[in-house]
Amino acid sequence: MAQGFTLWFTGMSGAGKSTVSRLVERTLREAGSAVELLDGDVVRTHLCKDLGFTKADRDENVRRIGFVCELLSRIGVIAIVAAISPYRESREYVRSRVENFIEVYVECPLCTLIERDVKGLYKKALAGEIANFTGISDPYEPPVAPEIVIHSALQTPEESAERVLRTLESRGLISIRRAVGA
């Protein structure tokens, strides 16, 4: 059986977690890996729709996602998570439960996030129209020692995905054949 692990993308809204995680997922799937992507927005719709955005609810959301990752990883599946997961303690709880937990911090300056704001969420949050908005009226606690840091304001999504894949290869978690010169 293949070795399962969890690749946990964390960062503020609009940082690029979903975009990069989808690129990584596609590459791993094309290489024949068993992989599941748990996107924060999708998980909230299907697994956590009963939760709001209080600290307790956000912690429970991360705990539930972590439980699914624990199950998937145990049976040899690569679980990829793209979720804001703003609180360090809840991410560390998942790390303590999941073998082979790889944290990817998708760092992006607030000014760039506001410029990228395709959904208009930062504008609404800054106007006080959205309560408990991560990075504005609610904290985001960056990881202290993530295994991978992506600077999405400085790297393309493709460059970021390649960095993630190379790190996974260097740790012996994956082996992907690439075309010559790639």
pLDDT digits (tens, 9 = 90+) for 111-124: 999 998 888 999 99
Q: What amino acid occupies position 37?
A: L
Residues 13 and 110 sit within 8 Å (Cβ to Cβ): no
Burial class of 14 by CB neighbour count within 10 A (0 to 12, 13 to 18, 19+) = buried
Map out the domains of the chain as residue ranges. Answer: 5-170
Residues 33 and 78 sit within 8 Å (Cβ to Cβ): yes
Q: pLDDT tens digits for 42-84? A: 877 777 677 767 788 888 888 999 999 999 999 999 999 999 9
Please give the model's pTM, rounded to 2 decimal places. 0.91
Least confident of 19-33, 114-128, 143-157: 114-128
- Residue 85 designated active-site: yes
Please list, in sequence order, all residues whose beta carbon lies within 8 angstroms of the beta carbon of residue 140, skipping any fewer than 6 positions away: 11, 12, 84, 86, 134
Domain 5-170 CATH assignment equals 3.20.20.140 = no
Catalytic residue, candidates 73, 85, 90, 160 = 85
